[in-house]
Amino acid sequence: MKESTVLLGYADLIENTDKHLKKHFILFSILGLIAGLGSFVLEGGWGNINAGFHTLLEVIVNLARLLIIFAVIGRGQPLPGFNHFLAIFRLRKSAWSDTWSNFKNNVRHHFLAILVNLIIYVIVAVITNIAIFATLKYTPLLNWLKSADLISQAAGKWPVILLLKNISIIPFTLVFATLLVMWIVERNKTIEE
């Protein structure tokens, strides 16, 4: 039996993000839709709203996004993820120094792999954003939504853009960023050969 450090591959974070999104698709879709509809209403998709409702929707949108992060930390379950997150605040000074040491070692030894994963993420994000903007600019979607009374006549394209982003690239971003941080601060993992 030989122990060796598990290395980060050049696209492992992107692959893990994709696997995580597929495995917990329903949960992330529901939370993304909640955040998307909240953002849609906040941006005036159904007209003006009062300040109290605006504040409530902001809380709901951000809570849905936090639940996505906690679900990633808890491997698909928000409550264990939340408890694991709270454990951070109970760490002793020695545990913080171990975490900082792990962070430095992981970044130093896997800088190129982290950089490649970040570049791939940026490419995916840019393509998704271009697709969303192109959908609204070059298709009659916005006019159709207004004619079907699914959106306020006075609303611009931003409510629809935020709805589409919240069900596509924002959950992807939250999962990717959470997995990246979790990987960077974890201890060096060992495998048996």
pLDDT digits (tens, 9 = 90+) for 124-142: 999 999 999 999 999 999 9
Among 92-96, 143-147, 168-172, name the one with the lowest average pLDDT: 92-96
Token pair recorded at residue 94: 């020695």
- Write down the pLDDT at residue 190: 41
Average pLDDT score over residue span 19-27? 94
Span 44-62, mean pLDDT? 93
- Exposed, middle or buried, 105 (CB in 10 Å: 0-12/13-18/19+)? middle
% of the chain exceeding 70 in pLDDT: 92
pLDDT in the model for residue 7: 56
Domain span including residue 31: 3-192
Average pLDDT, the chain: 89
Q: How would you class 68 by CB atoms within 10 Å of its CB: exposed for 0-12, middle for 13-18, buried for 19 or more? A: buried
With 90 as the cut, is the pLDDT of residue 88 above it? no
- In terms of average pLDDT, the best of 61-65, 135-139, 184-188 is 61-65
pLDDT cut 90: percent of the chain above it = 65
Number of folded domains that form the chain: 1
* Integer Rg of the chain from CA: 20
Tell me the pLDDT band of 119, cut-offs 50, 70 and 90. Answer: very high
Beta strand residue intervals within the chain, DSSP E: 3-5, 190-192
Distance CA 46, CA 61 (A): 16
Q: Please tell me the least confidently modeled range out of 91-100, 116-125, 144-153.
A: 91-100
pLDDT digits (tens, 9 = 90+) for 138-155: 999 999 999 999 999 988
